[in-house]
Structure 1
Amino acid sequence: MADTSSPDMRTRLQNWLPKLVLAPSFALVLFFVYGFILFTIYLSFSDSRLLPSYGLVGWENYSKLFRLSHWETAITNLAVFATLYIVICSVIGLLLAILLDQKIRGEGVLRPIYLYPMALSFIVTGTAWKWMLDPGIGIENTMHLWGWESFAFDWIKNRDYAIYTVVLAAVWQSSGFTMAMFLAGLRGIDNEILKAAQMDGASNWQLYRRIIIPQLRPAFLSAFVILSHLAIKSYDLVIALTGGGPGRATELPATFMYSYTFSRNQMGIGASSAVIMLMTVAAIMVPYLYAELKEKK
């Protein structure tokens, strides 16, 4: 009897051991991630100010949020920043991937150079670009020292152009990562298809336009999802580079949420802006995950 039950016991232990090992991590994620998401949603419907409050005010915080000119500025800046960031990163990443896919000499050196900026934190990137773009010590001052006294590059101090300095820094950091995704996609294309097209007389332009780039659709979709997510939650880069200024010229939803929650003591409005950001990310991620799962099935 004992001999027959012992293997069953070992089998049950083997089945339960991974679950027991993962249970603490699962419980912590469930509480500290999803629990606090639900708590933030609750706060967005409360009259919380300096501290959390449990008096519900319905949709009042959302109504106030969309009447604020600061929130409108943050949304407009996000639209400009996200559009330029995603498009420029995708174009540069694709061009770099095509360059490296030509089996050029020194690919092993160039690839980590392009990827290196992604290894830096956004704080480091923002600080470095702040120094470079500062008219007093950066590119403009260097050009003046070299004799080009008429050279002017004060975008970081100009309300009309400051948001584009955030785009520059973000593109510099993320283009290498986008290149890696496209390069993986290029290396996964069947060479037999390309050889057959070349035998039929297809030029290099036709190969890329009709065969290679259409087969990179999964890489384009992955790049769009990841870059959109990074754009929506951009906070540390903006704080390190411009601090949201000059004025509110570079304020994004993430900086708006922080300032209204911790500086203006409007926790309810800050929570409602965080929920809007969460819903925006979910609107991008959920269809993507659904498409991926459907494709695997």
Structure 2
Amino acid sequence: MRNTLSLKDRFSRWLPRLVLSPSLVAIIVGVYLFIAWTGWISLSSSKMVPKYDFVGLEQYIRLWSTPRWETAVANLFVFTVLFLAITIAIGLLIAILLDQQIRAEGFLRAIYLYPMALSFIVTGTAWKWILNPDLGVEKVVNDLGWTGFVFDWITRPEYAIYCVVIAAVWQSTGFAMAIFLAGLRGIDTSIIKAAQIEGASLPRIYLNIIVPMLRPAFLSVIVLLSYISIKSFDLVLALTGGGPGNSTEMPSTFMFSATFRRNQMGVGAASAMMMLMTVAAIIIPYLYSELKEARNEH
């Protein structure tokens, strides 16, 4: 009986490990092994096919001397700053409005979250139609009688990147709203009541008391949206294809083009490693701060 119980105890102890082991192997092989392989290719002279020689940082030098890569990095900076600022501002505002216990809150919350259920390919295709001067907003307004109205940003190189920002903000605002709303619901309402008794107005209470208490929510939103912006490949591909010209080129589309269209596998791998380093520069401090905070609580 003791041996039977001991066997059951051992089985119950090892069962979770056995269940998780295939996923662990898949992650090690499909993620970390391929990251290591990409890193090695970025240090080789690979072009059309992989080569396993060693040329040092030659591919990185070629990468940073390529004008298209400089354009991609500049576009990423503009896109990330505008995307984060607008998404956080609108998401926070909607969360505050929904936090006022308004009617049909569940219905409105579902509407704002609906875009997150769509893939970026669908979002990019839909907004490509909406922003098309011959099909979308411009044509509708012109048909209504305002023949002088022009909204052709998607066809103009100097404005096309802002079309990508519009589509990304539309899809991700509901996500930011959900995180901020969860943070607001976790704050004790007695704080608001006490401030109101002291004579503070509701806008001032949110600005000076509630919003600073949402620091963890802000941190989570910034990290996750930054990650989305860095890997924004399918949205750009579906919406603008990197054009007009290369005006909406991003590091992710540059990597794809360099590797599969221009047969520069080494340069493509170097750009992929630069994107990985950027993501790591965002994620690692976040994880460190979270672990440090959890350690301090214990």
Q: TM bucket by the smaller chain?
A: over 0.9
Alpha-carbon deviation of 1:46?
A: 0.6
Deviations 1:239-289 (A, max 9, x none): 100000000000000000000000000000000000000000000001101
The two structures have a TM-score, normalised by structure 2, of: 0.97
Question: Match for residue 132 of structure 1?
Answer: 130
Q: 2:87 aligns with which of 75, 86, 89?
A: 89
Deviations 1:139-186 (A, max 9, x none): 111122111111101000001000000000000000011000000000
Q: 75-84 or 16-25: which moved more?
A: 16-25
Q: 257-266 or 11-20: which moved more?
A: 11-20
Tell me, in whole angstroms, the C-alpha distance in 2 between the residues paired with 1:17 and 1:220.
38
Superposed, which structure 2 residues align to 1:1-297 within 5 Å? Answer: 3-297=1-295
Q: 237-246 or 191-200: which moved more?
A: 191-200
Letter in 2 for 1:281: V
Tell me, in whole angstroms, the C-alpha distance in 2 between the residues paired with 1:10 and 1:221.
44
The two structures have a TM-score, normalised by structure 1, of: 0.98
Alpha-carbon deviation of 1:5?
A: 2.8
Letter in 1 for 2:210: I
Alpha-carbon deviation of 1:55?
A: 1.4
SS of aligned partner of 2:41: helix
Tell me, in whole angstroms, the C-alpha distance in 2 between the residues paired with 1:160 and 1:81.
13
Alpha-carbon deviation of 1:8?
A: 2.1
Tell me, in whole angstroms, the C-alpha distance in 2 between the residues paired with 1:55 and 1:129.
44
Letter in 1 for 2:55: V
Deviations 1:100-147 (A, max 9, x none): 001111111111000001100000100010011111111111122111
Tell me, in whole angstroms, the C-alpha distance in 2 between the residues paired with 1:25 and 1:217.
33
Please list every run of 5 or more consecutive structure 2 residues that lacks an aligned counterpart in the other structure.
Answer: none
SS of aligned partner of 2:53: coil
The number of residue pairs the alignment matches comes to: 295
Alpha-carbon deviation of 1:210?
A: 1.7
Tell me, in whole angstroms, the C-alpha distance in 2 between the residues paired with 1:95 and 1:197.
20
Tell me, in whole angstroms, the C-alpha distance in 1 between the residues paired with 2:108 and 2:173.
13
SS of aligned partner of 1:177: helix
Tell me, in whole angstroms, the C-alpha distance in 1 between the residues paired with 2:104 and 2:62.
56
Alpha-carbon deviation of 1:205?
A: 2.2
Letter in 1 for 2:58: E
Tell me, in whole angstroms, the C-alpha distance in 2 between the residues paired with 1:168 and 1:13.
53
Letter in 1 for 2:66: L
Please list every run of 5 or more consecutive structure 1 residues that lacks an aligned counterpart in the other structure.
Answer: none
SS of aligned partner of 2:176: helix
Deviations 1:221-251 (A, max 9, x none): 1000010000000000001000000000000
**Among the aligned pairs, what percent are the same residue?**
59
